[in-house]
């Protein structure tokens, strides 16, 4: 029987997600609906539904948007070809790409310009990976695992690696160790690409695993960083489940668990944590405490078109 809930800290929204969601909300406030968004602005179904109710229209491709309309590019970033299509269609663009993803794009352009072949450590099909590879498709080789790193063939010449920002810290380090062993001269980014929020949330989960019997991770199925939190717990022998909200909790998971840990991915709003806690409270679990209090003070400015101090500016 569950007696106690421990909350991981930090959890939930990161600065890049907050910036992206605020960007769509500000665009709707300034110009009214419809505001188009290419792909999900962040990988959370609740956030997407809330914005749809306010008048945001989510599309898979910029080519689906009427010429001249306003479009927001998601936090995951887009390839240069997307920007070119937007110009061709005369779309009014607002780029909500997380600045830490933009950093990886800049690295890719820099290395490609200098004649490097890059290994991109990431997951095939993820929007962030697609956007990064689009910066230098002829110079980037995708590697998804330590096993692939053992067999990847790279051309002669200068080599470097870059990574997706939302990966497992431990598994990425394993991939990098293989690459460095096989290609001793491979260059690393000046600063690691896995973002602070991904690293902090994984570290917070690791710290609490010895004190819990089960971990619930609040986040959507397509959220890379949320899935990594589940994997971190399971790798340490603690059962963990990914849930979109309290409705997905299976009471059978709780059998034999006295202390349940709760965390949330970087795209999950705190109100979903509150709903999960209310679900437990309805079942008599009222002992809720933070395992550790760690605050993040990272802040990213909104895109210039939607900053409150410049409400008259139109997107472009």
Q: Which residues are catalytic?
A: 128
Residue 226 CA to residue 229 CA, distance in Å, equals: 5
What are the phi and psi torsion angles at 72 (to 5°)? Answer: -110, 130
| Residue appearing with tokens 């293989």 | 178
The answer to whether the CB of 95 falls within 8 A of the CB of 316 is no
Q: How many CB atoms lie within 10 A of CB 113?
A: 10
Within 13 Å, how many C-alpha atoms sit on residue 86's CB side?
23
The answer to whether the CB of 229 falls within 8 A of the CB of 217 is yes
Q: Is the dihedral of CA 253, 227, 232, 272 positive or negative?
A: negative
What secondary structure letter does DSSP report for 132? H
Q: Is the dihedral of CA 132, 297, 233, 264 positive or negative?
A: negative
Q: Which helix (H) or strand (E) holds 214?
A: strand 214-218
Instruction: List, in order, residues 6 or more apart from 228 with CB less than 8 Å away.
Output: 166, 167, 168, 198, 202
Which tokens hold the place of 243?
Answer: 């849930």
């Amino acid at each position: 029987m569950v007696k106690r809930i421990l909350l991981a800290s930090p959890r939930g929204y990161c600065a890049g997600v907050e910036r992206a969601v605020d960007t769509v909300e500000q665009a709707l406030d300034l110009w009214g609906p419809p505001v188009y968004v290419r792909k999900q602005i962040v990988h959370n179904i609740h956030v997407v539904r809330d914005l749809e109710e306010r008048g945001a229209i989510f599309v898979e491709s910029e080519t689906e948007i009427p010429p001249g309309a306003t479009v927001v590019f998601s936090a995951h970033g887009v390839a240069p070809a997307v920007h070119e299509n937007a110009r061709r269609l005369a779309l009014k663009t607002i780029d909500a790409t997380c600045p830490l993803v933009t950093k990886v794009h800049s690295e890719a352009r820099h290395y490609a310009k200098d004649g490097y072949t890059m290994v991109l450590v990431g997951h095939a099909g993820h929007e962030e990976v697609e956007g990064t590879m689009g910066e230098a498709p002829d110079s980037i080789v995708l590697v998804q695992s330590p096993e692939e790193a053992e067999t990847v063939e790279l051309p002669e010449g200068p080599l470097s690696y870059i990574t997706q920002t939302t990966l497992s810290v431990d598994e990425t380090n394993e991939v990098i160790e293989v690459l460095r062993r096989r290609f001793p001269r491979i260059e690393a980014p000046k600063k690691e690409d896995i973002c602070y929020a991904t690293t902090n949330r994984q570290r917070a989960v690791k710290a609490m695993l010895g004190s819990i019997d089960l971990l619930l991770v609040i986040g959507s199925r397509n959220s890379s960083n949320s899935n990594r939190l589940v994997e971190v717990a399971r790798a340490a022998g603690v059962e963990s489940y990914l849930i979109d909200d309290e409705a997905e909790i299976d009471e059978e998971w709780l059998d034999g668990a006295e202390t349940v840990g709760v965390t949330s991915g970087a795209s999950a709003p705190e109100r979903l944590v509150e709903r999960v806690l209310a679900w437990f409270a309805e079942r008599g679990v009222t002992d809720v405490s933070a395992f550790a209090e760690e605050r993040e003070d990272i802040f990213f400015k909104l895109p210039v078109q939607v900053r409150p101090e410049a409400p008259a500016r139109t997107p472009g």
